[in-house]
Structure 1
Amino acid sequence: MTGSPRRRDNFESSIDSFVDRLSPQARSLWAKSGDETGHLSLAQHLIDSACVAAVVFDTYVSNSLKENLAQNLKLSVEEVRQLYIWLAGLHDLGKGTLTFLGQLDMKPEFRHLLSRVADAGLPIAMSKLEAGRKSMPHSVSSGLILRNWLEEKGFSRRQANWVSSTVDAHHGVASGDERDAIDNVLSEYPPEWRAVHNELIDAMTETVGVHGVLESLKSLRNPLAAEAQILTGLIVMADWIASNPDAFPMVVSGTQTQRVESGMRAIDLTVPWSPVQLSDDIHDLFRNSFGWPATFQARPIQQAMADVAKTCTEPSLIILEAETGVGKTEAALAAAQIIAASNEAQGVYFAAPTMATANGLLERTMNWARNTTESGAVSSLYLAHSKNQLSKPFQNLRFQDIDEDASDPSADGEVVASSWMSGRRRGLLSNIVVGTVDQVLMLALRQRYSMLRHAALAGKIIIFDEIHSYGAYSSDYLATTLEWLAHYGATVIMMSATLPTDEREKLIEAYTGNSVEEHSNAYPLITVAGESSLRYVTPEQSPTNLEARITIIDDTITALEELLGRLLVDGGVALIICNTIARAQEVYGVLDATYSSEVELHHAGFMAWQRSEKEDRMRHELGPDSHRGEGRPWRKIVVATQVAEQSLDIDTDVLVTDLAPMDLIIQRIGRLHRHGRPESDRPEQLRKPQVFIRAIESLEPAPTINSGANAVYDPLVLLKTLLQLPTVFKRPDDVATLVQSTYSDHHAVPKEWEGVWAEASSESEQRIDRAHQRSKSFRIDSPLDTHRLHDLFGDLTKATVQLGDEEKGAAQVRDAEPTVEVIPIQQADGFYTPFDREEQIISEVPMSYKQAFQLASSTVRLPLRMTRFDSDFEAVIDALERSTPMEWNDHYLLKGQLALSLDANGEASLGRFRVKYSPELGLESTFDSSDPDVEGRS
């Protein structure tokens, strides 16, 4: 851009003298009281932050995000850079206030800093108005000082508020009601103080050379909060880096240029992802990217996705609908690689439906990232969920040297877990992120420091795995998230085996802002939607790979026992999926009496390490490489809940499942005859796939569905599923037809069903209405409807405060009440043991990492009914806190965790509940019969 190199040179040449050019009054202000080595002046911290911002913009921010900001702000990229540096260099203006300086009065060792301010000629006596305030956050003061300066320069109040809000919000929340009161305080400040405030702003304005940018901003009508949100996120990054004492110490030595170079070397901030040069041969691209053999040929779905990606010339929503097992994951990653090479995205976020799925994807994604990162380049990788510290592959990546894992540096790039970008709230800033879908949906959530999440995701390609039929509540969050990602110019890739047409079209409308005029019911299908175009690509359909007979059976335990007795007389592997933990525990208890060691129970109510062991064992026994007589059991019954529904690579001979929505039944059928096997692996009577449906208590004259199923799923969708349920299911032939017909609004309802249908319709409509209403509570508005940064935060005091931000946020976007997580232990005199473990841990003695890791791997969540009501919550938490060892708060893996102290029988009383934990059944809870007031409170 014309003139930009000269302006950049002016900034770089003037930073060394920035502090020295200021008046003694401006130089007397402090920003950080520091340590034994010294303190840091406000002027020094401001120029540190401005210089860091320049490096962040030049080395970290992707070209795609720079260009999006420039387009939306009607500035050039160089002007956006200047604006960002200037704002970062002014973010702590509010530390030049008496309230901030007054903190030193309480610390005698630092009072000399306050004396320096007085000696420089600044009055240090507070006005009555300021002295009477309980708080005066320096971030709010920063915004107001800058706003008032902007108004003096000819900005309207609206424009000045927009610019200054980025500075105001650098502590994670844009202020609201308190601004006017604090502005009144600042209006009474002596002229000497106002002169210093203006001097700091004028000096930074001159140093950055931002005058022309500010003039351009005056003509920007109705700027949106979205751009302020991104700028604020980048300001927070610069502030946090400049505030790191290991990088920017309190003692200043050498030139400012040298200080910045040294500081940034201490912060392992990686540049945007640099994909390797693409091969023209799609088969070669997949071989190279995933390390597959030279004989590998890309599947039709994968070829089609690669072809689509090559033609994406604008930010797009790409939806891939195809059956399980055709390589959708690799197709999406390859498409992301192709698009990133074209649009220079910052990286990729791979959003998995669960923590377990994310963990399973981690190593695959790490290998792909190494293979696809340009030789000599470094990509940072992060595992984004609350249990990432328990992932051994991720921890190994965190603690290895950059070059440690590269056997041939000339062949592949490096993948590291950046220590700075693995910190709290910073992990999403990494280039390649694997995590849960909640982390992306929280983009649409009112939440402290949401600006960092926006800045981290706005420049990435976002891949959503396993998108099915979301409920109304989560669909609202997903739609809003897509609106924001589209506004930021982020390309989104979504995958599903079973997506209703209406749901697909809602996603398209959310992302593009356009109604869908052209429809498609093809399967498999790739939809490519952008602001100016919509097209459908229909890859070649796979041949029929499964034909299963579907039979409804009686819901009694006796009927289930008789069925299994017939089916498993010659052995075989049966999977029984129940909709609730209680049903699964009941089924297991009965079958264990007959089949004993041949039955395994799997649900979310087991400790984390036991769940992991169960899944690993099942993958080994029932995976593609195990055969009868060679690791595959002669007979086995797996009783599970929805945890076996997806992303668990097991192959069973017969499926018995509770009634669920059609798309989820199809997902469950994905565990049936999943792998190609020799006939000898399956008993003769199970060589043809069979599905048996339970949880229907009666069919005549109209269906009566188990109450647990109706509690978990929409009752109308269950009736529609039952109405459309075929006697024979062919995959992939029937997938699209069954899903679309189930979620259609047009059904030939039998006369005998009309009463229950009307009742279910009413209940469904009420649930959906309630969900839409609830979703508004903490969900932000569309980016096109949001102009004030404050509107992205609102009143955060209403949020649940009992749990951490991440847990609260994840529960909020899932429409789930946060549940309490506990670690079962058994205590004795002077020591305790993790439940079902032998190692004794001495009380009140610091723990080893091994002991803490063992405990942290033993978490289990209490049933929601135990903490749903405030009185129960308080009683349960009080009991748990009393039994939690004090030393847990001293270890980073256990800080904030609660212990469930069990007696010798594995039982405990919590409030009005009695809980029991056993390795066989997991966690059980009942009302405590010894509580005299159970009946009254239940």
Structure 2
Amino acid sequence: MNTRSELWAKQDGFDKTYPLLAHLLDTVTITGALYDHWLREGLRDLFRESLGDNAKSIVQCIAGLHDVGKASPLFQLRPSDKAQRWEKIRKTIEESGNYQDLGNTSIALNRSKDEARRHERLSAYASQPVLPSSRKPASQVWVHLVLGGHHGKFSAITKASDTKDLLEDLDYGGWTSAQHDLTDGVLTACRLNREDIPQKLDPTITLLLSGLIVLADRIASGEPFVDGGFTLLEEFPDILEHPHRWVTEREKEAESRVRTTVGIYSPWETEDAAKQAILGDYDPRPIQREALDAGDGLWSLMATTGSGKTEAALLRHSTRPERLIFLLPTQATSNAIMRRVQHAYRNTSNVAALAHGLASVEDFYQQPLSLYDDEAGQNPSENQTDKPSGLYPSSFVRAGAARLFAPVCVGTIDQALASALPGKWIHFRLLALANAHMVIDEVHTLDVYQTKLLEELLPWLVKTRTRVTFLTATMPSEQRQQLISAYSQAEEKLDSPIFPSIDVVTEGHTDSIPVDSLTASMTIDLRQTEYDSLVDAHVDWHTQVRRQFPTARLGIICNTVARAQETAQRIAENGETVLILHSRMTAEHRRQNAQQLLDLLGPNGTGTNITVVGTQAIEASLDIDLDFLNTEICPAPSLVQRAGRQWRRTDPQRKDRCPGEHQKTLTVTWFNSDQSWQYRPYLAAELKRTYEWLASHSQLIIPDNAQEFIDSAHVNFENALTELDMEALTEETLKLMRAESNRARITDALTDRASVGNFTALTTNNPADESTTRLIDEGSNGRFILGSLESTIPGAWHGTAEELLTLSSRDKATIREVLRASIPLSLPRNSQRKPRAKEEFIERLKAISLSESRSLLSGYYFVPDADQFYDSSIGFTGPLQNS
């Protein structure tokens, strides 16, 4: 066969060009390793059901054809590049005698034409020579979509006459013949004929295959694997004439390469080992026993705080050998759960990723990547004892959407919701979600915008038979109906929820299973004050309780950062030990304080005479135990969550810290106002309804009162009565409209009637921005690096802006150090009244833009001498736009 050895696929970073056929066969081999070792069994079943007994070979073949379009004059000849190496490449191609001179006016050499310049489109035409208009059924041109999308975007024909002229020139010039020869080489390697490739394919499989090819291409293109190909060519110069042998020779190396890049999931050795790792010596609780028996579908657990929901999710996960994606509402809660997941996996060996904007400053990434790093070209030893233990990072999955591909990924919910927004590589993200068990904790914290985005994702997870677990201590009935209906694909109205319970959704049917729960009663202590006196009320409460219980653990949760800071500062002035946690702190400051909280008040903490002050940052998934809690009025679901930080565990020392206290007291500080802005960041109507329920009850009993409490405080069209209710509904409706406008129409691309246009609508020129998964109404978030020469700011950068601008993406250790000084700040909106509000805010900080940086710091500002704006105890103090 003609291997077209004159054509190349890789040359950057190598002493010589790498043959195009070699790269195609490398991708075939890597795809085989991914299919056998990385894909979960459920996805392999889907491929087999759609493609038959030859499923694996067909998947490998299509992946191998992804770069056939590189056999084109514009890619191979680079006519505008006059460097000596290109003169040599062009001479080799010309002397092969296989190609005709097309002349400078040929459309095939016109860089302004996307059809000629984008080799992925030429790969699509070479393998399926049709002109796919937007209206063409996707099932009929699936090969075109899969191959044409491997650089991140699906595309349709734009100008048919140009495409026809291009294909005619390629045929005349001998390039079409080259593409045919390369295609034959891939088919031979996979032991297939052209007739074995099906004419039609279900759109769900098309999306899965599109993402898989992106992953295979990235791994096969890595320098270590290409180096292995060069070595094989040196040992067997004629091996490309035997494509199947090439694949056979490289299979073992391919598996090793997959293991060291994306990672291959390593489960616990036995069911008993999993239980021991997750529960220790404790027997499973009722919900945890249910988790062990859970099968396919959606498993939505609504149970009291502290009932072992996290462990239940991990136990459900342990019943299948598949990847885990564990998602939470905030960076702080993600960091906390990551530590618990690490503990559970301590006796396994798995690549893992912590996925959020400031993950690189966390302890997990302090492990040296060189220990077992794919970028260093180190492959895992065959000796099992040489493998790392527990969870460890890998360069391949350290950033961006690739983090979702780690065998164990813990991150913010934004990582998944970005997959519900149109963007480049959306099929790459969707594959990652489908090839895992996806756990979403604190589901109730999703607002209507985020819930709508999640609703768009759920049909995809159903189509791909992806196991999904929801965890929450609360969930409004309306949100429950919306999400379960999206997964079950049934419009029937659900029965009223039972609290606590598990909703099990499989094959369109929903069962609700009541579960046993310990009853927790708390006395409601409502304290009224004025809006301007909230801080005074908190300090007075603290003084009163501390006087009576000198060694108790006290907590105060405020709804704004400014009040939390002022409260903490005034209490500290009285000589109290205060720990504060909120969003306006450097990443290092938050990390230090969160760790101190866990050390003092966590499962093994023995802290006494301590006060915790914070915002919503300590509301969910932070495993701390307080004796007394004072919280500002907040929505009912959040209030239940906040109450869960109090008397969280059975603590024999509590009787010494709180003598005479036999039942916890939940103090709720509230105020009455007609000014909606004073209730921010929440809706005034929700807070007033929460107050009305609390005022009519002397106790909050969990689980007895939980669902009634949550639903009574939720505003909807049926119960809206007041002007504030209508204001809340208007705001929620606007968020829904934004979600409807912004979302990717994934569901439209999954139907039998899906068209090419439905696929192209999913992708844009830019990757989905994780920040757009949340609506920020009061200005936009800016990211800043705080500088200080005096070391008063935790984690501060001690260098200059010029030093930051010299950093590149290779300076990982230094960038990690810089990000310890990062902080998000709300930027004001420019308006007619204040047309330069944003710019003036930045000028007041004397902030320097790092937009010219060659690293991820390009999205940040640097604030030199930031000490004037920062207090080492309470965080950033100004200038502020929102309190």
TM-score (norm. length: structure 1): 0.80
Whole-Å separation in 1 of the counterparts to 2:594 and 2:206: 45
- Show the counterpart of 1:697: 672
Conserved? CA contact 1:679–1:687, under 8 Å:
no
Conserved? CA contact 1:286–1:292, under 8 Å:
no
What CA deviation, in whole Å up to 9, does each residue of 1:232-264 have, x standing for no partner?
Answer: 111112211221122113733234243554465
Kindly indicate whether residue 539 of structure 2 is the aligned counterpart of residue 548 of structure 1: no
What CA deviation, in whole Å up to 9, does each residue of 1:885-931 have, x standing for no partner?
Answer: 89x957x785654321126xx34xxxxxxxx2222342233489xxx
Q: Give 1:300 shift.
A: 1.8
The counterpart of 1:616, out of the listed 595, 599, 607, is 595
The counterpart of 2:57, out of the listed 40, 58, 82, is 82
State the one-letter code of the partner of 1:541: S
SS of corresponding position for 1:320 = strand
What CA deviation, in whole Å up to 9, does each residue of 1:115-169 have, x standing for no partner?
Answer: 2223334234243545555253678443355346534799996455322111111
- Show the counterpart of 2:243: none
What CA deviation, in whole Å up to 9, does each residue of 1:197-231 have, x standing for no partner?
Answer: 3333344345434447656334x5xx42x322211
Aligned pairs for 1:62-73 (under 5 A) are: 62-71=40-49
Whole-Å separation in 2 of the counterparts to 1:581 and 1:682: 29
Whole-Å separation in 2 of the counterparts to 1:51 and 1:405: 20
Whole-Å separation in 1 of the counterparts to 2:420 and 2:457: 5
Kindly indicate whether residue 742 of structure 2 is the aligned counterpart of residue 783 of structure 1: no
Conserved? CA contact 1:574–1:654, under 8 Å:
yes
Whole-Å separation in 1 of the counterparts to 2:525 and 2:65: 67
State the one-letter code of the partner of 1:46: L
Aligned pairs for 1:893-932 (under 5 A) are: 897-902=860-865, 906-907=867-868, 916-926=869-879
Q: Give 1:538 shift.
A: 1.5
- Show the counterpart of 2:433: 457
Whole-Å separation in 1 of the counterparts to 2:880 and 2:300: 47
SS of corresponding position for 1:519 = coil
State the one-letter code of the partner of 1:760: L
- Show the counterpart of 1:103: 78
Conserved? CA contact 1:587–1:639, under 8 Å:
yes
Q: Give 1:324 shift.
A: 1.0
Kindly indicate whether residue 445 of structure 2 is the aligned counterpart of residue 492 of structure 1: no
- Show the counterpart of 1:243: 221
Conserved? CA contact 1:136–1:182, under 8 Å:
no
State the one-letter code of the partner of 2:217: D
Kindly indicate whether residue 687 of structure 2 is the aligned counterpart of residue 718 of structure 1: yes
The counterpart of 2:100, out of the listed 112, 123, 135, is 123
SS of corresponding position for 2:155 = coil
Whole-Å separation in 2 of the counterparts to 1:101 and 1:729: 72
- Show the counterpart of 1:794: 761
Kindly indicate whether residue 723 of structure 2 is the aligned counterpart of residue 759 of structure 1: yes
Q: Give 1:824 shift.
A: 0.8
- Show the counterpart of 1:198: 180
> Does the C-alpha gap of structure 1 residues 28 and 248 become closer, same or farther in structure 2, counting only changes over 3 Å?
same
Q: Percent identity?
A: 22
SS of corresponding position for 1:346 = coil
Whole-Å separation in 2 of the counterparts to 1:406 and 1:675: 44
- Structure 1: gaps spanning 5 or more residues: 1-20, 699-703, 750-756, 800-804, 908-915, 929-938
State the one-letter code of the partner of 2:20: L
Deviates more, 1:850-859 or 1:37-46: 850-859
Q: Give 1:329 shift.
A: 0.8
> Does the C-alpha gap of structure 1 residues 721 and 299 become closer, same or farther in structure 2, counting only changes over 3 Å?
same
Aligned pairs for 1:416-815 (under 5 A) are: 416-422=392-398, 424-468=400-444, 470-542=446-518, 544-555=519-530, 556-557=533-534, 558-570=536-548, 571=550, 572-593=552-573, 595-623=574-602, 625-626=604-605, 631-633=607-609, 636-677=610-651, 678=653, 680-684=655-659, 688-698=663-673, 704=674, 707-709=677-679, 711-725=680-694, 726-743=697-714, 757-783=721-747, 785-786=749-750, 787-788=754-755, 791-792=758-759, 794=761, 808-813=769-774
- Structure 2: gaps spanning 5 or more residues: 240-245, 374-378
What CA deviation, in whole Å up to 9, does each residue of 1:77-110 have, x standing for no partner?
Answer: x433233222222212232223223435324222
> Does the C-alpha gap of structure 1 residues 889 and 227 become closer, same or farther in structure 2, counting only changes over 3 Å?
same
What CA deviation, in whole Å up to 9, does each residue of 1:836-887 have, x standing for no partner?
Answer: 579954886789987654432121111232789995556767998974789x
- Show the counterpart of 1:292: 280
- Show the counterpart of 1:392: 363
SS of corresponding position for 1:529 = strand
SS of corresponding position for 1:38 = coil
- Show the counterpart of 1:913: none
Conserved? CA contact 1:460–1:491, under 8 Å:
yes
Conserved? CA contact 2:107–2:165, under 8 Å:
yes
SS of corresponding position for 2:650 = coil
Deviates more, 1:231-240 or 1:835-844: 835-844
Conserved? CA contact 2:127–2:143, under 8 Å:
no
The counterpart of 1:163, out of the listed 143, 168, 185, is 143
Q: Give 1:406 shift.
A: 14
Whole-Å separation in 2 of the counterparts to 1:512 and 1:291: 31
Conserved? CA contact 1:32–1:40, under 8 Å:
yes
> Does the C-alpha gap of structure 1 residues 833 and 853 become closer, same or farther in structure 2, counting only changes over 3 Å?
farther
Whole-Å separation in 2 of the counterparts to 1:230 and 1:647: 33
The counterpart of 2:249, out of the listed 251, 254, 258, is 258
State the one-letter code of the partner of 1:674: R
State the one-letter code of the partner of 1:762: M
What CA deviation, in whole Å up to 9, does each residue of 1:522-551 have, x standing for no partner?
Answer: 222011111243212222221x33322231
Conserved? CA contact 1:94–1:138, under 8 Å:
no
SS of corresponding position for 2:114 = coil
Q: Give 1:442 shift.
A: 2.0
Q: Give 1:625 shift.
A: 4.6
Conserved? CA contact 2:585–2:876, under 8 Å:
yes
SS of corresponding position for 1:826 = coil
Whole-Å separation in 2 of the counterparts to 1:333 and 1:368: 8
- Show the counterpart of 1:825: 787
TM-score (norm. length: structure 2): 0.85
Whole-Å separation in 2 of the counterparts to 1:646 and 1:34: 48
Conserved? CA contact 2:684–2:724, under 8 Å:
yes
Whole-Å separation in 2 of the counterparts to 1:419 and 1:477: 29
- Show the counterpart of 2:17: 39
Whole-Å separation in 1 of the counterparts to 2:358 and 2:705: 38
- RMSD of equivalent CA atoms: 3.9
What CA deviation, in whole Å up to 9, does each residue of 1:358-379 have, x standing for no partner?
Answer: 22222332332355x5xxxx54
Q: Give 1:266 shift.
A: 4.5
Whole-Å separation in 2 of the counterparts to 1:878 and 1:202: 63
Aligned pairs for 1:141-180 (under 5 A) are: 141-144=119-122, 146-147=124-125, 150-151=128-129, 158=137, 159=139, 161-176=141-156, 178=158, 180=160
State the one-letter code of the partner of 2:304: E
Whole-Å separation in 2 of the counterparts to 1:204 and 1:826: 58
Question: Whose RCO is larger (CA < 8 A, sep 6+)?
Answer: 2
Whole-Å separation in 2 of the counterparts to 1:464 and 1:657: 26
State the one-letter code of the partner of 2:461: L
State the one-letter code of the partner of 1:920: S
> Does the C-alpha gap of structure 1 residues 611 and 592 become closer, same or farther in structure 2, counting only changes over 3 Å?
same
> Does the C-alpha gap of structure 1 residues 692 and 864 become closer, same or farther in structure 2, counting only changes over 3 Å?
farther
Conserved? CA contact 2:356–2:411, under 8 Å:
yes
Whole-Å separation in 1 of the counterparts to 2:792 and 2:148: 46
SS of corresponding position for 1:28 = coil
